[in-house]
Amino acid sequence: MKKQSVEKAYALACEQYADAGVDCEKALRRLKSIAVSLHCWQGDDVGGFERSASMEGSGLQVTGGYPGRARTADELRQDLDKALSLIPGRHRVNLHAIYAETGSHRVDRNELAPEHFARWMAWARTRKLGLDFNPTFFAHPKAAAGFTLSSADESVRRFWVEHGIACRRIGATMGQKTGTPCVTNVWIPDGTKDLPADRRGPRERLQQSLDEIFAEEIDVSIHRDAIEGKLFGIGSESYVVGSHEFYLGYAVANDKLLCLDAGHFHPTEGIADKLSAVFCHLDEVLLHVSRGVRWDSDHVVILNDDLRAIAEELVRGDYLGRVHIGLDYFDASINRVAAWTIGCRALLKALLLALLEPAARLRAAERGGDTTGRLALMEEAKSMPFGAVWDHYCLKQGAPVGEAWLAEVRQYEKTVLSGRT
């Protein structure tokens, strides 16, 4: 689209929004201040760079064989650079422990140290990107039995506690080096395929393990801890040790961030409604924005009602300053750079839509008991010229407008990705 057309459409849109009591410039200033944490694992199908890592026993499933997967950290950073150039705004990158760069020697998970992420930190610094982090409690022989932090085998449990401790130190260093607090998120695959005889033991051991991992005080100005629950996974259909109730209680009792993953609840249960409930008891929340489809919790995020409801709650409740927003999905059946771009642009669009909501009018209707007007206004807001505001934002941020980013991805596929086998 031509630059003049974008600006003309934007000017008209601003008038229309102003009539509804909405200030477009203000909405865009707010949008610009939101950094989304882009999950590195979409770029290589959650592979990582440990030669032995496989997803076996992780409860996660990556399907598809689209060519061009990043095979090295350099390739992954190159792909992330490409994706970030197609997304308006300044964002963050979310790493997992399996993305360590340990050179020619193998370093086991419990021995990982900040130096193994030196290149990631240098890369992030030159781009002014924040970093977030995750211990990897899966894809490892010591996770093969289905239990990590909740294992009854003390040597196994100890190993994973050490991994958790090591990862917090890495996260703290990331926060220090990048000048923005790193959120380190704990998710474990522990659970059972069929009915367990003992639900209590593993949960009590998990509680003990978390206490041990979090024992070291780390300054919140450089680092935050988050814990992520789940309803079920592949191979943990009957029992998941780290359930929502378990972590909600732990987070409240220990002042940790609760991570709500949009794909980790019953298929008819959304996380939007949970936000105002958990924010009554927690200062901050981490979101894993994802899209569940039937058994899978990790489809590429799109601008659907669930996503819009999450963004609306964050804006309506004035929670943007208390939430850390990350993406979490993996699709190996489409171009991976496109997968990042589609998901992150969709999330930003959802946030913009929410910021453009005629909030004052909706609240006035609600307070006045005018539920008819509230519903009518919500529906009318859907056909306001939001696309013109979005296009203008992309243009201003130096990101491609409309579908123009797709041509860039196709070009990148031709010149870079197709050379990878």
Question: What residues act catalytically?
Answer: 187, 228, 230, 261, 264, 288, 296, 298, 328
How many residues sit in the footprint of ligand RNT (CB under 6 A)? 11
Q: Quick one: which of 45, 313, 328, 391 contacts Zn ion (CB under 5 A)?
A: 328
Q: Quick one: which of 261, 306, 313, 413 contacts Zn ion (CB under 5 A)?
A: 261
Q: Which does 134 bind (CB under 5 to 8 A by kind): Zn ion, ligand RNT, none?
A: ligand RNT
Shortest distance (Å) from residue 372 CB to ligand RNT: 40
Q: What are the DSSP E strand ranges found in 85-139?
A: 92-96, 130-134
Q: Quick one: which of 17, 73, 100, 134 contacts ligand RNT (CB under 6 A)?
A: 134
> 130 vs 229, which CB is nearer to Zn ion?
229
Query: If you search the block for the tokens 């982090």, which residue do you land on?
Result: 133
User: Taking CB under 5 A as the rule, does residue 298 contact Zn ion?
Assistant: no
Q: Quick one: which of 187, 246, 250, 386 contacts ligand RNT (CB under 6 A)?
A: 187
Residue 61 makes CB contacts below 8 A (sequence gap 6+) with 55, 234, 296
User: Taking CB under 6 A as the rule, does residue 41 contact ligand RNT?
Assistant: yes
Residue 282: Cβ within 10 Å count: 16
Shortest distance (Å) from residue 290 CB to Zn ion: 6
Shortest distance (Å) from residue 39 CB to ligand RNT: 7
Shortest distance (Å) from residue 219 CB to Zn ion: 25
Q: Give CA–CA dist 287/343, Å, rounded.
A: 14
Q: Which does 230 bind (CB under 5 to 8 A by kind): Zn ion, ligand RNT, none?
A: ligand RNT
Beta bridge partners of residue 363, listed in sequence order: none
Beta bridge partners of residue 167, listed in sequence order: none
Residue 321: Cβ within 10 Å count: 8
Query: If you search the block for the tokens 């200062």, which residue do you land on?
Result: 283
Q: Give CA–CA dist 289/298, Å, rounded.
A: 9
Stretch of 73-81, 91-99, 113-121, 259-267 contacting Zn ion, by CB under 5 A: 259-267
3-state helix, strand, coil in the chain (%, to 5): 50, 15, 40
- Maximum Cα interatomic distance, the chain, rounded to a whole number of Å: 68
User: Taking CB under 6 A as the rule, does residue 148 contact ligand RNT?
Assistant: no
User: Taking CB under 5 A as the rule, does residue 413 contact Zn ion?
Assistant: no
User: Taking CB under 6 A as the rule, does residue 288 contact ligand RNT?
Assistant: yes
Name the nearest CA neighbour of 17 among 349, 355, 352, 358: 358
- 241 residue type, one letter: V
Q: Give CA–CA dist 241/169, Å, rounded.
A: 25
Q: Give CA–CA dist 188/186, Å, rounded.
A: 7
> 83 vs 377, which CB is nearer to ligand RNT?
83
- 32 residue type, one letter: K
User: Taking CB under 6 A as the rule, does residue 261 contact ligand RNT?
Assistant: yes
Residue 333: Cβ within 10 Å count: 12
Q: Which of positions 363-382 make contact with ligand RNT (CB under 6 A)?
A: none
How many residues sit in the footprint of Zn ion (CB under 5 A)? 3
Q: Give CA–CA dist 113/163, Å, rounded.
A: 10
Nearest position to ligand RNT, beta carbon: 187
User: Taking CB under 5 A as the rule, does residue 288 contact Zn ion?
Assistant: yes
User: Taking CB under 6 A as the rule, does residue 230 contact ligand RNT?
Assistant: yes
Token code pair at residue 401: 């407008």
> 27 vs 236, which CB is nearer to ligand RNT?
236
Shortest distance (Å) from residue 75 CB to ligand RNT: 19
Shortest distance (Å) from residue 354 CB to ligand RNT: 23
- 295 residue type, one letter: W
* Distance (Å) of CA 209 to CA 154, 157, 249: 11, 8, 15
> Reduced to 3 states, what is the DSSP secondary structure of residue 260?
strand
Shortest distance (Å) from residue 113 CB to Zn ion: 25
Q: Which does 41 bind (CB under 5 to 8 A by kind): Zn ion, ligand RNT, none?
A: ligand RNT
Binding stretches for Zn ion (CB under 5 A): 261, 288, 328
Binding stretches for ligand RNT (CB under 6 A): 41, 46, 60, 134, 187, 228, 230, 261, 288, 297, 328
